[in-house]
Amino acid sequence: MTRLSVNVNKIATLRNARGGDNPNLVKVALDCERFGAQGITVHPRPDERHIRYQDVLDLNEVITTEFNIEGNPDERFIELVKEVKPAQVTLVPDAEDAITSNAGWDTIANKDHLKELVNTFKEDGIRVSIFVDPDPKMVEGAYEVGADRIELYTEPYAEGYSDDREKAVADYIIAAKKAEELGLGLNAGHDLDLDNLRYFAKQIPNLLEVSIGHALVCDALYYGLENTIQLYRRELT
């Protein structure tokens, strides 16, 4: 069964909007676990506009499910991940001014850089996932630099789902089969929601984990956090 990792960035965004500590990020993350989340994801950015670097340290003290730290591997990010030693680090090629992730790595053009990063994190026993577009060549490039997993960038799928879901998912099936052929673990994330998640999960072979934040938090405004997490878990069964 595909595991659900809840990205709590939007909780931090809400907290930061007023300053102070309401909502309390650690409490929400622990509640997510209690309500059925099988992992917690954070994506600290250099300007700390949502997740702060201190949040990562605080969460690491209490998270009992799988902790996944994703982000652009600049020097500060690398130091943070090596200090925390989460179960998984997901490498994302974000520009500093990006509102949200909008592309996967070119694993061929960045082969040497990614290989060095993978080795750096693996030295500390951290599983490494590389964020990629659904392109078999990029999947193969992730394998060649030594990644343990890839995370498929699913915004294009989500955008095309309502018009033609079979067309929207086609490239992802091909990429997933390439990952399976190479022995790479497979994650996915970005704009997956209660409308498009079930179909994606049913079509993609060996999907180990999805990371969902924005849509899940939006749904929680209407359905409540506990119920929302259970609704997402149900889509993955």
Name the residues annotated as catalytic. 43, 70, 190
Contact 36, 233 (CB under 8 A): yes
How many CA atoms, within 13 angstroms, populate the side-chain half-sphere of residue 119?
Answer: 8
Q: How far apart are the first and last CA of the chain?
A: 6
- 134 preceded by cis ω (within 30°)? no
Closest CA to 9 of 214, 162, 189, 154: 214
Give the whole-angstrom CA distance, residue 46 versus residue 159.
28
**What token pair was written down for 129?**
């996932």
